[in-house]
Amino acid sequence: MIRILKYGEVPNSEIFARTEPTVNVADIVADILATVKRDGDKALLAFTEKFDKAKLDALQVTPEERAEALSEIEPKFLEVLRRAATNIRRFHERQVRNSFILNEENGVVVGQKIIPIDRAGLYVPGGTAAYPSTVLMDAIPAKIAGCREVVMVTPPQANGKVNPVILAAAEVAGVDRIFKVGGAQAIAALAYGTESIPRVDKIVGPGNAFVAEAKKQVFGRVSIDMIAGPSEILVVADSTADPAFVAADLLSQAEHDKLASAVLITDSEALAMAVNTELEKQIPLLPRAEIARTSIDNNGKIIVVDDLKTAIDVANELAPEHLELAVDNPFDYLDGVRHAGSVFMGKYCPEALGDYLAGPNHTLPTSGTARFSNPLSVDDFIKKTQYTYYTKEAFGRVAEDLAYFAGKEGLDAHARSATIRLEKN
């Protein structure tokens, strides 16, 4: 049963506590990375047979396999995928940055170029839980950014095929190449390259503890999006919220993972009790009831506060991945939200809208990192290069200041690079 806590009557350490994964897979992952770096495709095929029970002759998904997968998809699902992709494109197209140039007077030009990364690598889970939504959310911003190639890795099923819904989403999103490999070994392939799989410049996408650890270990050789923790939802609700809606929304994240966190903050003790009752009604009805039950019992909380301003303050301190404002006039509270991955406004805007259809990205900062990091966006697939131009006359006007500044840092060669040009005049 979920805990009900009265803010101000229990220690803040209990209010703000988070359950952190305790499994340590660093050494196992390091061995996998080293093996793939050394043995390439041979290692990938061996790991795929060991972990996914799939014996493969080749790693790349063929055009024929992609076409076959499309033919197996229900037309209605394909239509929904395309509708979701349209919304995701429309949102992310507004994120595109432009290069700029400043033509200053007297012979000075400075500017910044926006350049897409050459190759993006997408990790997409594909085992017991297949997430075509992740394909759309990760691939579409990369394509909008202008990446030359978008490469996807995803574990195969035991029959050696990729789940057709994953391949269908890849077709809709425009993924260039797809490979049948998952786990830490897939991250290694993207980071180091193998005979079949090209090395990428950035790896994005969620995964289990092995995938997260592998991304952490290869960071620096390649860029990554984030180290994602367990799923989180925080609902701020007033007395007018429907307890059945709130409970359903909490469970939408609790069913992800036994470590997932579902939190309600409310100024209504009556709503707190009603939501608790609804959770007990709804959990047994879920196919993933065991996972949801563990999440709610171990990590779930209902925090009762005196007023909604306090609720927003507590929410900011928790900095959740997903924040729902299930209140009247939610836009009145939006300015007060400082730390949240994505905000869902009103009583008819469940977090699931953000997972699938609305358009904003669902790859979000977790574990309180919304205090300083961002949702996945087009920005993740670009880099910036600065440039500077001075004419001879313009440089002559600043050379002495430049040499003086360098001298203050004790860098005489820096200063000399300025004064030598003055001496040649």
CA atoms of 114 and 116, how far apart (whole Å): 7
Find the mean pLDDT for residues 76-99: 97
**Tens-place pLDDT, residues 377-425:** 999 999 999 999 999 999 999 999 999 999 999 999 999 999 999 987 6
- Cα→Cα distances 287→98, 291, 378, 393, Å: 47, 9, 35, 75
Supply the pLDDT for residue 106: 87
**Tens-place pLDDT, residues 238-286:** 999 999 999 999 999 999 999 999 999 999 999 999 999 999 999 999 9
Mean pLDDT (the chain, rounded): 96
Supply the pLDDT for residue 220: 97
CA atoms of 420 and 425, how far apart (whole Å): 9
CA atoms of 323 and 309, how far apart (whole Å): 15
Supply the pLDDT for residue 125: 93
Residue type, 188: A
Supply the pLDDT for residue 363: 96
Residue type, 354: G
CA atoms of 233 and 229, how far apart (whole Å): 12
Q: What is the DSSP string of 52-84?
A: H----S-SBPPHHHHHHHHHHS-HHHHHHHHHH
Supply the pLDDT for residue 425: 65
CA atoms of 321 and 84, how far apart (whole Å): 21
Find the mean pLDDT for residues 156-165: 94
Position 374 pLDDT exceeds 70: yes
Active site residue 321: yes
CA atoms of 61 and 262, how far apart (whole Å): 38
Q: Which helix (H) or strand (E) is 120 found in, with range?
A: strand 119-123
Q: Which of 255, 322, 324, 351 is catalytic?
A: 322
Q: Which helix (H) or strand (E) is 304 found in, with range?
A: strand 301-304
Supply the pLDDT for residue 23: 77
- What does the block give as tokens for 265? 């903050």
Angle between the N-to-C axes of helices 132-145 and 75-93, in degrees from 0 to 180, rounded to the nearest 10: 40
- Residue 18 banded pLDDT, cuts 50, 70, 90: confident
Cβ distance 98 to 378 under 8 Å? no
- Residue 128 banded pLDDT, cuts 50, 70, 90: low
Q: How many CB atoms lie within 10 A of CB 191?
A: 23
> Which of 119-128, 278-287, 339-348, 368-377 comes out lowest in average pLDDT?
119-128
Find the mean pLDDT for residues 195-206: 97
Q: What is the DSSP string of 216-279?
A: HHHBTTBEES----S-EEEEEE-TTS-HHHHHHHHHHHHTT-TT-EEEEEES-HHHHHHHHHHH
Spatial neighbors of 30 by CB under 8 A, at least 6 apart, are: 217
The residue that leads in pLDDT, 316 or 17, is 316
Nearest alpha carbon to residue 250 among 269, 222, 228, 231: 231
Residue type, 325: L
Position 203 pLDDT exceeds 90: yes
Largest distance between two CA atoms of the chain: 85
- Residue 127 banded pLDDT, cuts 50, 70, 90: low
Residue type, 120: A
Q: Which of 321, 324, 351, 362 is catalytic?
A: 321
Find the mean pLDDT for residues 367-386: 97
Residue type, 318: L
Cβ distance 210 to 25 under 8 Å? yes
**Tens-place pLDDT, residues 33-81:** 999 999 999 999 999 999 999 999 999 999 999 999 999 999 999 999 9
For the chain, the distance separating the N- and C-terminal CA atoms, rounded to the nearest angstrom, is 82
- Side-chain-side CA neighbours of 152 within 13 Å: the count stands at 33
pTM of the model: 0.94
Tell whether the torsion through CA atoms of 252, 174, 215 and 97 is positive or negative: negative
Supply the pLDDT for residue 190: 98
CA atoms of 127 and 182, how far apart (whole Å): 9
Q: How many residues does the chain have?
A: 425
CA atoms of 385 and 140, how far apart (whole Å): 23
Supply the pLDDT for residue 424: 76
Active site residue 317: no
- What does the block give as tokens for 248? 């359903």
